[in-house]
Amino acid sequence: MKAYMYDNLPGDQRLPHDSGRAVDTDELAKLGVLYYHFPDIDGVNKLAADRGYKNRDEIVVSPEKMGDVYEDKVKMFFNEHLHEDEEIRYIRGGQGYFDVRSKDDEWVRVRLEKDDLLILPAGIYHRFTTDESNYVHAMRLFQDEPKWTPLNRCPDLDTNAQRQEYVGQYLA
C-alpha cells in the first residue's frame, strides 16, 4: 500500500498521479479509512467475523474478463460517490487505486496490491480505478446480502444520514 495526495494533473486516471506528498496510515485512520495487510485468507476471515461480515464475492476487473464493457465500467467506478454501507475490499491479485476525500476535500490516492485490505466507512466520498495494468482481482465483503449501490456526489447528499454521520465523526 502506498498513500499520497493526488496531483490533479490531466491524464489517464490509471496513471499514478503522485504529488510526492505522502499520507500515512494514521492520517487515513483520521478519515475513517483502515488499512490491513493479510498474506493469507485467515486474517481476512478473522476480520470479517470480528466486524460481522457474513457474505462475500469476488470480482475481476480487466478487459479480458469484462470484454467490451471494461472501459465504461472503469469510468463508472471513477465517478465520485459514497455508499450507505461500509466498504471492504481485499486485493487477491493485480492492483488498483482508491481515491478518498481528505478533510480539505482534496483527493488522497491509495494504491493497493495483492494482500492489501481497505475499509472505507459509510458516507465517505471516494472513487476507484485500475492502474495501467488494467487488472485487479478483489474480494468484496458485506455484512448482509451483497449490494453495491453508489450514490454519486451531488448537493442532495449533504442531508443523507450516512453522510451526515460520517461528517460528524470524521470531518467536524
pLDDT band at 143 (very low <50, low <70, confident <90, very high): confident
The confidence score (pLDDT) of residue 23 equals 98
Q: Which three cell numbers stand for residue 117?
A: 485490505
The confidence score (pLDDT) of residue 119 equals 97
Question: Which amino acids are annotated as binding site for Fe(2+), given as ranges?
Answer: 81, 83, 87, 126
Contact 75, 69 (CB under 8 A): no
Read off the pLDDT of residues 82-92 as tens digits, 9 standing for 90 and up: 999 999 999 99
CATH 2.60.120.10 fits 2-171, yes or no: yes
> Within a 13 Å sphere around the CA of 117, how many CA atoms are in the beta-carbon half?
18
The confidence score (pLDDT) of residue 18 equals 98
DSSP 157: G
Nearest-angstrom CA–CA distance, 130 and 127: 11
Question: Which amino acids are annotated as binding site, given as ranges?
Answer: 81, 83, 87, 126
DSSP 70: H
Read off the pLDDT of residues 61-70 as tens digits, 9 standing for 90 and up: 999 999 999 9
What does the domain layout of the chain look like in residue ranges? Answer: 2-171
Read off the pLDDT of residues 33-59 as tens digits, 9 standing for 90 and up: 999 999 999 999 999 999 999 999 999
Q: Give the mean model confidence (pLDDT) for residues 134-149.
A: 87
Question: Which amino acids are annotated as binding site for Ni(2+), given as ranges?
Answer: 81, 83, 87, 126
Q: What is the model's pTM? A: 0.95
The confidence score (pLDDT) of residue 144 equals 81
